[in-house]
């Protein structure tokens, strides 16, 4: 990522990501253009290719930033004193709020796709766990019988279901929950999941 970059190049990379982030936040990842990046960063077209592999790489950097901010938001969301159910609701609400307040950046995370054969770099994958990390503790409390793999698996299901509701709503097409009812419906989902999880065998 920033491995063997000189301080100067590091600065340039940061500047390029700054500019890209602003553009994605304003208009989405689809309208990112190499020429715009270059001129906004104050360098010639070819120069950005000395700190970045290609345009996907730029978006991946932006997405890593967003994932880290999302991770921090979720860490801050869960109250230190509440019980597990409270924590779950706080996390879900935090996720909804982050998505709504970072619409384009949040969307960019989940709509990028690399050409066949290319894989995401490790430094980017390292940011994925932020999505479910905070869920595991309260879930483990609600389901003391789940451990290790099974616990993580259920945390993933829980996250993905909430993500789906938010995603469908934000996406706007199809049959998403209207924005106004999003928080309420996600709460209902978390309630249902929590109770369901308590009562379900296995």
Partner DNA sequence: TATAAAAATGAACTTTGTTCAAAAAATGTG
Partner DNA sequence: CACATTTTTTGAACAAAGTTCATTTTTATA
Q: Applying CB under 8 A, which residues contact its own copies?
A: 27-28, 30-31, 110-111, 113, 115-116, 120, 128-129, 131-132, 153-157, 159-165, 167-169, 171, 173-178, 181, 185-186, 188-189, 191-197, 199-200, 202
In the complex, least distance from residue 39 CB atom to DNA, rounded to whole angstroms: 9
CA separation for the pair 186, 116 (Å, rounded): 34
134 contacts 159 by C-beta, under 8 angstroms: no
Q: Quick one: which segment of 54-62, 81-89, 104-112, 150-158 binds DNA (CB under 7 A)? A: 54-62
12 binds DNA (CB under 7 A): yes
What dihedral angle (degrees, nearest 10) is formed by the CA atoms of 52, 113, 169, 131? Answer: -70
Long-range interactions of 136-139: CB distance < 8 A, separation 24+? 137/84, 137/87, 138/78, 138/84, 138/85, 138/87, 138/88, 138/91, 139/84, 139/88, 139/197
Residue 50 or 157: which CB sits closer to its own copies? 157
Cα-to-chain-centroid distance, residue 85: 22
Q: Does residue 27 touch DNA according to CB under 7 A?
A: no
Binding segment (CB under 7 A) for DNA, from list 32-40, 76-84, 157-165, 174-182: 32-40
Q: Is the dihedral of CA 161, 165, 168, 170 positive or negative?
A: negative
Q: Which of its own copies, DNA, none binds 46 (CB below 5-8 Å, type-dependent)?
A: DNA
Which of 7, 196 has the CB closer to DNA?
7
Q: Which is nearer to DNA, 16 or 170 (CB)?
A: 16
User: In this structure, is the dihedral angle defined by the CA atoms of residues 141, 142, 143 and 147, taken in order, positive or negative?
Assistant: negative
Which one of residues 1, 2, 27, 49 is an interface residue with DNA (CB under 7 A)? 49
Q: 7: which 2 tokens?
A: 């301080």
In this chain, which of 2, 22, 45, 192 binds DNA, going by CB under 7 A?
45
Site size for DNA (CB under 7 A): 18
Tokens encoding 66: 């967003």
Q: Which two tokens stand for residue 159?
A: 């996250």
Residues lying near DNA in the complex (CB under 7 A): 6, 8-9, 12, 32-35, 43-47, 49-50, 54-56
């Amino acid at each position: 990522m920033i491995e063997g970059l000189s301080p100067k190049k590091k600065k340039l990379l940061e500047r390029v990501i700054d500019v890209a982030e602003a553009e994605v936040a304003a208009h989405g990842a689809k309208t990112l253009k190499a020429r715009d990046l270059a001129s906004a960063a104050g360098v010639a077209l070819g120069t950005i290719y000395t700190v970045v592999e290609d345009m996907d790489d730029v978006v991946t950097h932006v997405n890593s930033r967003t994932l880290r901010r999302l991770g921090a938001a979720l860490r801050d969301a869960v109250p230190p004193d509440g019980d597990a159910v409270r924590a779950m609701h706080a996390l879900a609400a935090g996720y909804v709020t982050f998505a709504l307040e970072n619409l384009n950046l949040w969307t960019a995370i989940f709509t990028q796709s690399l050409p066949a054969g290319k894989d995401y770099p490790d430094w980017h994958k390292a940011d994925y766990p932020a999505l479910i990390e905070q869920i595991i503790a309260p879930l483990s409390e609600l389901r003391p019988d789940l451990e290790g793999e099974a616990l993580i698996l259920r945390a993933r299901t829980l996250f993905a279901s909430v993500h789906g509701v938010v995603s469908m709503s934000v996406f706007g097409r199809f049959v998403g929950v209207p924005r106004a009812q999003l928080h309420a419906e996600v709460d209902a989902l978390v309630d249902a999941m929590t109770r369901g999880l308590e009562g379900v065998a296995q």
